[in-house]
Amino acid sequence: MRKAIYFLVLCSFFKMTAQKEYVKTYFKNGTIKSEGWVQQNQKVDYWFFYFENGKKKEEGHYEANKKCKWWLFHNSKGEIVKKCKFENDLINGFSILYRNSQIIKAEKYEMGKKINEWNSLTDFKKDNKISF
């Protein structure tokens, strides 16, 4: 019986420490700086980062405190300027660059190193079997 109680207390402790918490940080002027999920002191799931003017700066997924999946990067006006795919905190896959909400360039990376670049959407579509 004593072992069963000890086991239940131990399981409860680990369950409590493994819970996710939604956290927010702020600039000195009071505007939000970042917000997202933390689990065991590491960023997980979806996060948002902001400029001091309150506009989004970047947003995307974390896994064990490292960027993963697709991330969006914004300029200080809040417009999307780049969309990149990450793996293990490095750009890995396509990176699409925008100006005035239009695609202007595409790049391909392998674990942080650029391996190709396209300066027109036509060339990009020709080389890659991706539809928009």
pLDDT digits (tens, 9 = 90+) for 101-129: 999 999 999 999 999 999 988 888 888 87
Fold of 20-127: Outer Surface Protein A; domain 3 (3.90.930)
Residues contacting 13, CB < 8 A, separation 6+: none
Residues contacting 17, CB < 8 A, separation 6+: 40
pTM: 0.81
Percent of the chain residues topping a pLDDT of 70:
85
Contact assessment for residue 110 and residue 92, using Cβ atoms and an 8 Å cutoff = yes
